[in-house]
Amino acid sequence: MPELPDVQVFREYLDATSLHQRIARVDVRREKVLENLSARALQQRLAGRSLESTRRHGKHLFVRVGDDGWLVLHFGMTGYPDYSSAEDPPRHTRVLLRFDNGFHLAYVSQRMIGRLDWTDDPGEFIERHRLGIDALDDRLDAGRFREAIGRKRGSIKSALMDQGTIAGLGNVYTDEILFQAGVHPRAAASDMDATTLTEIHRQMRRVVQSAIKARAQPERMPKDFLTPRRGADDATCPRCGKPLEREKVSGRTAYFCPTCQAMH
């Protein structure tokens, strides 16, 4: 699923390709991806206007439409934006914005788990959906992080993935953060001491920023990262060389090194 680094890359992509161009037509190919608005309503709100600016919070991307409000994009498991002048948009295009210049912006979503929504105010949307502070928000310092995560019940992996506590982290990057911090994903969040939580906070910022720099492409990430090795049957730890293990933690498959992330 696209997580904070992926959505930040999508944001930068839209900023570089799709702003300040008049939308000539809106084709809604699968209305299922629309949340709280109809195809006709989306067409009326977008046609004749332009995308003016973007804002990201966690896994949500907000796109300002003229002076009228914000299109909200959530990408689900397989979604991404695609800007092109090609005659045929990508397969699994669900919504297509056609610009006056002959280019188009496609919202592509194979599994249609993502959604397009509308809001007059991103802040109100964030509050209404009870999203926590963004993982890269400067206000989320080590002290605030320790307070938020240290009081959570359950595993540290589940605590980091709780979008109501911290917005933006998912299955892949929580595994990376915990690997870099040397913490087992099943370790109890409430048992963490201040030193450990401070290190997890430090690694959270490092991992997320590194992933954005790598354009969220595993093969471009640092050599000591776990992420490029996920999914391989014979994956080994980039530090000690021992085989990685995987198990279900809070319903998600966690990858970890049992040696470098031993349970204490």
The pLDDT confidence band at residue 147, using thresholds 50, 70 and 90, is very high
Amino acid 233: pLDDT: 84
- CATH 3.20.190.10 in the chain: give the residue spans: 4-128
Could you read off the pLDDT of 16-36 as tens digits, one per residue? 999 999 999 999 999 999 999
Mean pLDDT of the chain: 96
For 4-128, CATH number out of 1.10.357.10, 3.40.50.720, 3.20.190.10, 1.10.1740.10 equals 3.20.190.10
pLDDT-derived band at 158 (thresholds 50, 70, 90) equals very high
Kindly state the helix (H) or strand (E) to which residue 52 belongs, with its residue range. Answer: strand 51-57
**Section 79-86 average pLDDT:** 96
Q: Is the dihedral of CA 44, 18, 74, 232 positive or negative?
A: positive
The mean pLDDT of 134-153, rounded to a whole number, is 96
Q: What are the tens digits of pLDDT across the range 160-211?
A: 999 999 999 999 999 999 999 999 999 999 999 999 999 999 999 999 999 9
What confidence tens digit (pLDDT) does each residue in 89-101 have? Answer: 999 999 999 999 9
User: Does 125 have pLDDT greater than 80?
Assistant: yes
Contacts 24+ apart (CB under 8 A), 31-34: 32/94, 32/112, 33/94, 33/95, 33/107, 33/109, 33/112, 33/114, 33/115, 33/116, 34/95, 34/115, 34/116, 34/117
Rounded CA-CA distance 240/146 in Å is 29
pLDDT average, residue stretch 105-110: 96
Domain range 133-256, its CATH number among 1.10.8.50, 1.10.357.10, 3.40.640.10, 3.30.70.3270: 1.10.8.50
Residue 237, pLDDT > 80, answer yes
d(CA 250, CA 190): 16
Q: Looking at the chain, which residues constitute the CATH 1.10.8.50 domain(s)?
A: 133-256
232 has a pLDDT exceeding 90: no
pLDDT in tens, 32-75: 999 999 999 999 999 999 999 999 999 999 999 998 899 999 99
Has residue 116 got a pLDDT over 90? yes
pLDDT of residue 58: 98
Contact 72, 62 (CB under 8 A): yes
pLDDT-based confidence at residue 77 (cuts at 50, 70, 90): confident
Q: Is the pLDDT of residue 1 over 80?
A: no
Average pLDDT over residues 114-140: 97
The pLDDT value given to residue 118: 98
